[in-house]
Structure 1
Amino acid sequence: MKIIDAHLHLFDLQAGEYRWLSPDNPPFWPDKPVIAKNFSESDLVVSAPDQLSGFVHIEAGFDNAKPWREADYMAQHCHMPFRAVAGFDLLAGNNQHVISELLKRPCITGVRHILDDEAASVLNDSEAKASLALLAEAGLSFDAQLSLYDTAGVQALSAVAADFPAMSFILNHAGFPLADKNIKVWQDNLKALSRADNIAVKLSGWEMHNRQWRADDIAPVVNTVHQYFGESRVMTGSNFPLCTWHSDYDAFWRTITEAVPAVCAEKWLSENTLDWYFG
């Protein structure tokens, strides 16, 4: 099966900053040392009959002040087809300059501001809305990372998606469904987001809230995402190298290729990522 990984990170600790990987900085995960090392394209190995045909690199804090430098590094060191999602501060005041630099790099097709618990306050901010308007005008997408147990954050995301209907918004890690046992809140908020045609979902990041997740844990999530987002608005990503807390890269994809519905496997595993990120 052809795979285009919709969500991964590569690290070069000698070339970039990656302040969050320092043991002195949050997040204070006890197993952070497992991933606090170099990871390159050569580590992305899958076994036949699966074939990795490309990937989307998500910003990893290489240089937060000049986020385009991460894409420059990727362009110099990667040989596989890829697209990059650059780091971006929606609340910063110099975003026209940043966007101008991002647009000079054809591999950059979108940006991410990690929203997490601040989703509502950030997305409702007038400065953030001004930044989103600039991003929309530039034709860049926005990777939204927030919990779907945060209803206020979901409402704010729905509002900005409605404000910028020509802009693509891509929900990271399916909104962390494994973060809480009250799955109905997640389901209801996922359904609310599904009403916006310009929002897509990435199935990824399972290990963020369950290092020992099993196929049975994600099956109801996969079914619900399929129910609400259908065949054309769902992508699959590894969140490499964080997925290695659970299993190696090859084993991860063996599990995922078996978990996705057969009727939309080609779309979810590769074609939709081409449509939403590669253009």
Structure 2
Amino acid sequence: MSTKIIDPHLHFFNLLEGQYTWLQGANPPAWSNLDKIKQPISVAELIKSTNFELAGLVHIEAGFDNNQPVKELNWLTKHIKTIPYKAISFATINQSNNAFKLALQQLDHHSLVGIRDITEGHDAERLLSPHCLDNLRHLSQLKLHFEAQFEVENLNITERLISYANQVSDLQIIINHAGLAHNLANWATAIELLAKQPNVAIKFSGFELLMLNSEQQNQCFKHILKHFGMQRVMFASNFPVCQININYNELWQHYRSLCSDDLTWQYLSYKNAASLYQL
């Protein structure tokens, strides 16, 4: 069994220099182990914390400074020096096309491979904006990904995203956190619809944010793998947020236990992330 992994969804925090108003503002999330999540950790310390060989990672924007998100990319250059990495930064997906183009010009950085704009809950309506299609076209022209983070069981939004995927067929769309399942019946339908789009991939992560028991999580995994296949699914940690429930090493051990054969494990833990994120 290979122990080499690429983690395609994690965060490093620099609470002294960055803003992170969502995490350390007036209304921080009511997560268990929040103090542990906020503890600074280096790449070297993360590598030492696991029995798996962390061979690369993808840093996902964490709100360092949403007005000047390039600051986070510049900080990462100083923070991550010993391991290959790529970065997903922040840009508002429903802003005017000219503003979106300017935002991406300001994000010019060697590590950048895509952008994320969290559109959970009512914010998902922003994906219905008439500006989104042109902005996604611009992303594809720049060969950047769109990381979609919303509850895919919202079928109206999912159908719109599928329409975008069809119209911009060379755009890579990656669903974050397994589509944030709550209503499992609607979620399962959405997964089947999304999986029909060859330019959509999905990360299996984020279950510490959901109210699903172990059996339901296992059912989600089987459903995703059945419909997306082993070449469009990635295991990801969402570190350090995963520590709400489990430490980094235990999470990857759990992921390994979900795979019935070594080939599936190799694709989901390493090969797919290496290909999709050019690592």
Q: TM-score, normalised to structure 1's length?
A: 0.91
Provide the rounded CA distance (Å) in 2 between the counterparts of 1:257 and 1:96.
40
Q: Deviations over 1:193-248 (max 9, x none)?
A: 011000001000010014x853x342211111111000110111000001011111
Q: Deviations over 1:28-64 (max 9, x none)?
A: 446544423423323423543x211111100000110
Residue 95 (structure 1) aligned with residue 100 (structure 2): yes
Partner residue, 1:6: 8
Q: TM-score, normalised to structure 2's length?
A: 0.91
Partner residue, 1:105: 109
1:88 Cα deviation from its structure 2 partner: 1.1
Amino acid of the structure 2 residue aligned with 1:148: V
Provide the rounded CA distance (Å) in 1 between the counterparts of 2:32 and 2:266.
37
Contact 2:31 2:244 (C-alpha < 8 Å) held by counterparts: no
CA RMSD of superposed structures (Å): 1.9
1:91 Cα deviation from its structure 2 partner: 2.5
Contact 1:12 1:39 (C-alpha < 8 Å) held by counterparts: no
Residue 135 (structure 1) aligned with residue 134 (structure 2): no
5 Å-filtered alignment, 1:171-190, equals: 171-177=175-181, 179-180=182-183, 183-190=184-191
1:274 to 1:195, Cα distance in 2 relative to 1, 3 A: same
1:126 to 1:26, Cα distance in 2 relative to 1, 3 A: farther
1:73 to 1:81, Cα distance in 2 relative to 1, 3 A: same
1:131 Cα deviation from its structure 2 partner: 1.8
SS of residue matched to 1:114: coil
SS of residue matched to 2:203: strand
Contact 2:137 2:171 (C-alpha < 8 Å) held by counterparts: no
5 Å-filtered alignment, 1:1-279, equals: 1-25=3-27, 27-29=29-31, 32-45=34-47, 46-48=49-51, 50-78=52-80, 79-93=82-96, 94-102=99-107, 104-118=108-122, 120-177=124-181, 179-180=182-183, 183-210=184-211, 213-214=213-214, 216-262=215-261, 263-278=263-278
SS of residue matched to 2:12: coil
SS of residue matched to 2:277: helix
Contact 1:119 1:153 (C-alpha < 8 Å) held by counterparts: no
Provide the rounded CA distance (Å) in 2 between the counterparts of 1:266 and 1:30.
32
1:199 to 1:136, Cα distance in 2 relative to 1, 3 A: same
Provide the rounded CA distance (Å) in 1 between the counterparts of 2:194 and 2:123.
14
1:47 to 1:8, Cα distance in 2 relative to 1, 3 A: closer
The answer for unaligned runs of 5 or more in structure 2 is none
Provide the rounded CA distance (Å) in 1 between the counterparts of 2:61 and 2:25.
19
Provide the rounded CA distance (Å) in 2 between the counterparts of 1:37 and 1:273.
27
Provide the rounded CA distance (Å) in 1 between the counterparts of 2:254 and 2:175.
21
Amino acid of the structure 1 residue aligned with 2:161: L
Amino acid of the structure 2 residue aligned with 1:97: L
Provide the rounded CA distance (Å) in 2 between the counterparts of 1:16 and 1:47.
27
Amino acid of the structure 2 residue aligned with 1:184: A
Q: Deviations over 1:57-92 (max 9, x none)?
A: 000001101112211111111121111000111123
SS of residue matched to 2:131: helix
Contact 1:231 1:264 (C-alpha < 8 Å) held by counterparts: yes
The answer for unaligned runs of 5 or more in structure 1 is none
